[in-house]
Structure 1
Amino acid sequence: MGKPKNLTPAERSLRARIAVNTSWANTRDRSARTANGTASSPASLSYWEKRVDPDGEMDDATRAKAAENARSAHYQRMAYRAAQARKNKTP
């Protein structure tokens, strides 16, 4: 199937949704397919462990605690910035 020219935005969107659903329908192991993205997410503790101890020098307990602190700081920073944005928003 070639790429037709002159598709409307709605037609392109529909084709993309068809492709996505077909792809997921053919995926046997959904967890494996999303594992890299999940591990790369700031919601993942392993994401923060790699940032607080990139050389793997800390012991496991210390690395885990530092990662939890880094993740907490990240979400607190986001909350602070959101509060500032709401405060500075022009009514």
Structure 2
Amino acid sequence: MDPEARSLRARLGAHASWANTLDPTSRTAKARAAANGRFERQAREKHPDATDEQIARVAEHLRKAHYSAMGLKSVMSRKAKAPKAA
């Protein structure tokens, strides 16, 4: 199967799956909790004596930094794949 057909098939499956889900927030709750837990653990490792409020603030910044880094990698990847201008 070529990449375009595989992408279309995956998109079809995803839409069908989400069409069967009335409460998408509850469906993704475990994944969000796991990701947030990871950032909180990292914050506690960096600042073992911090208060819960401080840990929450640091964890939020770690989360934002993680997603910003992913966005930057995505931009760089698209630029590398883009046809070169003559």
In which range does the TM-score fall when normalised by the shorter chain?
A: 0.5 to 0.7
Q: Secondary structure at the match of 1:58?
A: coil
Pick the structure with greater CA Rg.
1
Task: Report deviation, 1:56.
Answer: 4.5
4+ residue runs of structure 1 moved beyond 3 angstroms? Answer: none
Unaligned ranges ≥5, structure 1: 1-30
Could you tell me which of 44, 56, 62 is aligned with 1:64?
A: 56
Task: Report deviation, 1:90.
Answer: 4.5
Deviations 1:20-45 (A, max 9, x none): xxxxxxxxxxx7xx84x55322xx2x
TM-score (norm 2): 0.52
Unaligned ranges ≥5, structure 2: 1-25
The 2-side partners of 1:65 and 1:38 are apart by 17
Report 1 or 2 for greater relative contact order, CA contacts < 8 Å, sequence distance ≥ 6: 2
1:51 aligns with 2:42: yes
* Structure 1 residues 39 and 74, CA gap change in structure 2 (3 angstroms): same
1:81 aligns with 2:73: yes
More helix by share: 2
